[in-house]
Amino acid sequence: MQLSTVLPEGMVFPYDFGFIPSTLGEDGDPLDILVLMEASVIPGCVVRARLVGAIEAEQKEKGEGWTRNDRLIAIATHAQTYDKAKKLSDLRPHLLDEIKEFFVSYNKLRNRKFRATHDASPDKARKLIEEGMNTFKKKRRKAA
């Protein structure tokens, strides 16, 4: 593992933020996922979770164009607080807005822009993962 950034004092990632192995997004990194649960887990831990949707989003580095950089949203299968949530609208009011605002602020501190474009259903989120897996496989074949 390699540390990519340190958050400013007082700022923390909402819930556990990770990635889905063997996927690639348009930004060239594995697909990002936010896993909602009651307590954090240690880095590198594999968490079983069910998708409830995604925040389709774009990110812009200074002097560059917009790049797709979605945030998948899932519930840890052992999470009791969210055990009934099956889609984004099942989450508590304003939670999704708070998550979006976190990523706007987080990227602003790194001299980047972030904008959410759509809220996606669990089915659309699964399609994003399938696309990410296909992109990963294609890149791997080219490298071989």
Are the CB atoms for 49 and 76 separated by under 8 Å?
yes
Q: Which CATH architecture has domain 16-134?
A: Alpha-Beta Complex (3.90)
For 65, phi then psi, to 5°, come to -85, 175
CA distance 139 to 86: 32
CA distance 57 to 50: 20
CA distance 144 to 141: 5
Higher per-residue confidence, 11 vs 17: 17
Are the CB atoms for 52 and 71 separated by under 8 Å?
no
Domain boundaries, the chain: 16-134
Tens digits of residue pLDDT in 46-68? 899 999 999 999 999 988 999 99
Tens digits of residue pLDDT in 100-143? 999 999 899 889 999 999 999 999 999 999 999 999 999 999 88
For 102, phi then psi, to 5°, come to -60, -50
